[in-house]
Amino acid sequence: MSLTEFELIERYFHACGAERGDVKIGVGDDAAVLQCPADAHLAAAVDTLVEGVHFPRGSSARSIGHRALAVNLSDLAAMGARPAWALLALTVREADERWLAEFAAGLGTLARTHEVALVGGDTTHGPLSVTVTVLGHVPPERALRRDGGAAGDAVFVSGTPGDAAAGLALEQGRLPPGPHAQYLQRRFLFPTPRLALGERLRTLAGGCIDVSDGLLADALKLARASGCGVELTASALPLSAPLRDTVGLARARELALYGGDDYELCFTVPAQALEQLAAELPPAEWGYTRIGTLQREPGARVRDEHGVRAVHAPGYDHFAGG
């Protein structure tokens, strides 16, 4: 039995996310009506996942649902914003109920974890693609920005970059599975948006960006926006034990620098705020690591055992093709 569009929305998306009192009109009417706090600014982000581009064909529906929201929440985390509402534009080839139930479970579980209400969307027929819009709040003039860094700032990253790139390679059969395959695959399939860290960094960080295209590429975007260059130290990269055991140290460093899909935060802190950072957010508890420095000289550089080398065109660009 195939579902009508109305039934599909009612069954899978009506009660998918969190319930919030500030949703005056949610799924079901022509538009959502949302109550904004008087003392906050609105933060908004949208990201699209296309099958075969952002996730392999045949990926688990639960992961697609999770990632579609997670990549957007990660953008709000990078702004120091707190998410509140999401809209979902979903294009599917068919109304496959098992697929839809899994997809909604993936998206809904993450939404409820972060108290995000799904307040509307659109459902259409076609090649699989998922667009999520998230809306959240940030105190006036307190948003974190890419251009907030300065030469001399220390550069940090949260989590263990490189895991997701290895996980994707495993998903695609480009890397032979080992004992840590499941851990690494999950790091690609179910990224963790660093929302709590982003909010706490509002009063501590200079610049901030989320890492989606590769750590070095995104650190360079932050550096450029801040009118600086960036130098990262290879030996400082926080590599997970599963990643190192699976691909070895040299390849693990490469994946951490150039791999994508981490959805960690890369942020900078001025020298005079480093003590406060360590005191307020103990790194062991909050899971972040110092990896380099913003410098006056433009461009990206990596320091390793052999010295410092300039790195050109790092990271993934959809239009440049690699």
- 3-class DSSP state of 14: coil
Binding partner at 27 among ligand ADP, Mg ion, none, C-beta below 5 to 8 Å by kind: ligand ADP
Query: Does the footprint of Mg ion cover residue 122 (CB under 5 A)?
Result: yes
| DSSP annotation string for 27-68 | BTBSS-EE---TT-EEEEEEEEEEBTTTB-TT--HHHHHHHH
Radius of gyration of the chain (CA): 20
| Residue least distant from Mg ion (Cβ) | 122
* Count of residues that bind ligand ADP according to CB under 6 A: 13
Minimum CB distance to ligand ADP, residue 27 (Å) = 4
Q: Which is nearer to ligand ADP, 30 or 275 (CB)?
A: 30
Query: Does the footprint of ligand ADP cover residue 90 (CB under 6 A)?
Result: yes
Considering only residues 94 through 123, tell me which ones interact with ligand ADP, judged by CB under 6 A.
118, 120-123
Q: Which of 230, 247, 209 is nearest to 314 (CA)?
A: 230
Q: Which of 114, 88, 213 is nearest to 161 (CA)?
A: 213
Binding-site member from 9, 144, 220, 243 for ligand ADP (CB under 6 A): 9
Check residue 141 and give left, alpha or beta (phi > 0: left; psi -120 to 50: alpha): left
Q: Which is nearer to ligand ADP, 117 or 300 (CB)?
A: 117
Binding partner at 109 among ligand ADP, Mg ion, none, C-beta below 5 to 8 Å by kind: none
Query: Does the footprint of ligand ADP cover residue 65 (CB under 6 A)?
Result: no
Q: Which is nearer to ligand ADP, 131 or 240 (CB)?
A: 131
Q: Give the whole-angstrom CA distance, residue 260 versus residue 70.
A: 14
- Structure tokens that stand for 129 in this block: 């693609």
Binding piece for ligand ADP, criterion CB under 6 A, among 28-36, 76-84, 202-210, 281-289: 28-36
Binding-site member from 77, 88, 211, 228 for ligand ADP (CB under 6 A): 88
Q: Which of 91, 72, 75, 99 is nearest to 11 (CA)?
A: 99
Tell me which amino acid residue 258 is: Y
* Count of residues that bind Mg ion according to CB under 5 A: 1
Q: Give the whole-angstrom CA distance, residue 209 versus residue 219.
A: 8
Minimum CB distance to Mg ion, residue 112 (Å) = 24
- Structure tokens that stand for 41 in this block: 């600014």
Query: Does the footprint of Mg ion cover residue 5 (CB under 5 A)?
Result: no
Query: Does the footprint of ligand ADP cover residue 29 (CB under 6 A)?
Result: yes
Binding piece for ligand ADP, criterion CB under 6 A, among 23-31, 64-72, 196-204, 303-311: 23-31
Rounded to the nearest 10°, the torsion over CA 211, 79, 194, 251 is 10
CA atoms within 13 A on the CB side of 237: 30
Binding residues vs Mg ion (CB under 5 A)? 122
Binding residues vs ligand ADP (CB under 6 A)? 9, 13, 27-30, 88, 90, 118, 120-123
